[in-house]
Copies of this chain bind each other. A is one copy, B any other.
Amino acid sequence: MSTQVIVLNGGSSSGKTGIRRCLQAILPTPWIALGVDDLIKSLPPSLTASGSGIALGQQGEVDVGAGFREIEAAWTAGVAAMARAGARVIIDDVFLGGAASQARTREHLDGLEVVWVGVHCDAETAAGREYARGDRTVGMAASQAEIVHKGVVYDIEVDTAKTEALDCARAIAAAVS
């Protein structure tokens, strides 16, 4: 059976978006791409500015409330439904809970053929890129670089500190059937 979902997991500023764009450009069939940033953009202001939603601390730590978790679950169920309805989907996510986040996502994707991708980038390099982007709360990159991979099991792992996004995408594409 051929791959239906590609999950890219990595910390903030680890380079997921660049890889996702390259994947969309080089994969031979059309893949749509949806990630946690798209979910956040779809939220009402009440969930991005309150205790029950998602909030950024002074050091870039991310606090996630119950209101956000509920909507995130419905969102992921919907993205899984897109894949079951025939769309091939690239999901990019930040597994703040490591293995527990993967378990939650795995449950939603039950029955689908998934390629799990670890997008690594050491904390120092990611923090430098966060600076260079200029549109992210400083500190997120460093605080997430390691924890998002804790206990997560991958089919393939790439390292954007050593490999350009396009070459990472080529390696991933080779693992997609």
Contacts and interface: CB of A to CB of B under 8 A. Distances in A.
B34 A42 contact: yes
A100 interface: no
Interface residues of A, number: 50
Contacts of A46: 24-25, 30
Question: In the assembly, how many copies of this chain are there?
Answer: 4
Nearest to A125: B164
A81 B166 CA distance: 33
B31 A44 contact: yes
Contacts of A21: 131-134
A51 interface: no
A165 to B, nearest CB: 4
